[in-house]
Amino acid sequence: MGESGKINTLLFVTTLLLTFIGVVMVYSASQVWAQFKYNNEYYYLWRQLIFAGIGIIGMIFISKIDYHLYRNNASKIFLFVFFLLIIVLIPGIGIIRGGARSWIGIGSFSLQPSEFMKIACIILLSKYLSDYYKDMKKPKYIIMLLGVIILVFGVIMLQPDFGTGMIIIATAILILFVSGVNLSYFLYLGLAGAGGIVLLIISAPYRLQRIFAYLDPWSDPLGAGFQIIQSLYAIAPGGVFGVGFGNSIQKSFYLPEPQTDFIFAIILEELGFIGGVAIIILYLIFLLTSLKISYHAVDLFGKFLALGITLTIFIQFFINIGVVIGLLPVTGVTLPFLSYGGSSLAVTLLGVGIILNVSKYQHDD
């Protein structure tokens, strides 16, 4: 065992394929809206190309950095990103978009700290679990860990960003489950989580509207149910082979901001069932390859680190697809690699870079 010196080629190529498909589909989904809003149909394409280029360069660079460096600096990384989460709440620093104060402006671009917190939490969680692996059956260790995760969730909800908060919580719970924590704790976590979600829904009327729209979109077709109805209108005509690349009807001012959370609806409309299945297969290849890397990592920190990043990406994928096809309520979660968005794409690619570095240190079995 030890460092092989080679990254996992299958994971690297799959990531590049998904990113390339994302850039192409962002252009197709956004060209009408970009022409209308900025008088430039390539506006979102060029920006996504920049995000992808920076992200891929970052991924390659990160893949060369020994992942044990993150273990040695886990607390510093977490505290720095937590500081960014706090300052984004300050008026004049944090930028409000879609009703959420989640971005810090940097020139013509913006940074979303909650995206970086996904990775920071996984690094801290992985260090904690690897340090106290044998003690995780004791309640005090679990309470301390969950206390930090709940604190992060609470700060993110002040923005508010329910989707990102839930991804962080879900990832933490799944990692704890895999780490062998006593199953009885998950019953208490489930009850507490269900109660918390109910309170969050009651506290914000728009979330309750989203639940009603999820159950019956036609009860409010021009309000809370509008996006999901337009998404289904996009999917239906796609059929097996789609209406053809660039020929989407729904991207022409029917489906709002189609290049972001609902880009998969445009993919299904233009590329059909076949195109959608091909992309899902790429995600499954990514998942299985990353899980294999996690399984063969030489130490517990590497195992949990690769597992956590993999779960974060796959949970986000699952939620986004579920929303687009009407299986889940609208949550505002992007589709990893494919949706337009600088912070989301960059963080996802940097996360893959960490997994690629873990793949260089593998057991021979």
* Predicted confidence (pLDDT) per residue in 126-146, tens digit: 998 888 777 667 777 777 888
The DSSP string of 204-229 is -HHHHHHHHHHH-GGGSTTTTTHHHH
pLDDT given at position 358: 96
pLDDT given at position 349: 96
Which H or E run includes 187?
Answer: helix 183-203
CA distance 168 to 235: 29
pLDDT tens digits, one per residue of 227-277: 888 888 889 888 889 999 988 889 887 888 888 889 999 999 999 999 999
pLDDT given at position 183: 64
CA distance 113 to 134: 32
The DSSP string of 90-127 is SBTTEEEETTEEEEEEETTEEE-HHHHHHHHHHHHHHH
Name the nearest CA neighbour of 313 among 332, 296, 335, 295.
335
Give the chain's residues under pLDDT 70: 1-4, 98-99, 106-109, 135-136, 182-190, 192-194, 196-198, 200-208, 364-365
Coil, helix or strand at residue 106: strand
pLDDT given at position 1: 44
**49 contacts 342 by C-beta, under 8 angstroms:** no
- 362 bridge partner residues: 2, 297
**345 contacts 338 by C-beta, under 8 angstroms:** no
Coil, helix or strand at residue 361: strand
CA distance 200 to 177: 24
**212 contacts 224 by C-beta, under 8 angstroms:** yes
Q: Which residues contact 352 (CB under 8 A, 6 or more apart)?
A: 11, 15, 59, 309, 313
pLDDT given at position 98: 67
- Looking at the structure of the chain, the number of domains it has is 1
CA distance 22 to 26: 6
Quick one: three-class SS letters along 267-294? HHHHHHHHHHHHHHHHHHHHHHHHHHHH
Name the nearest CA neighbour of 287 among 187, 201, 209, 355.
355
Task: Give residue 30's domain range.
Answer: 2-362
Type of residue found at 131: D
CA distance 295 to 307: 8
Structure tokens at 211: 């639940």
pLDDT given at position 200: 65
CA distance 233 to 249: 9
Structure tokens at 22: 């994302």
pLDDT given at position 95: 81
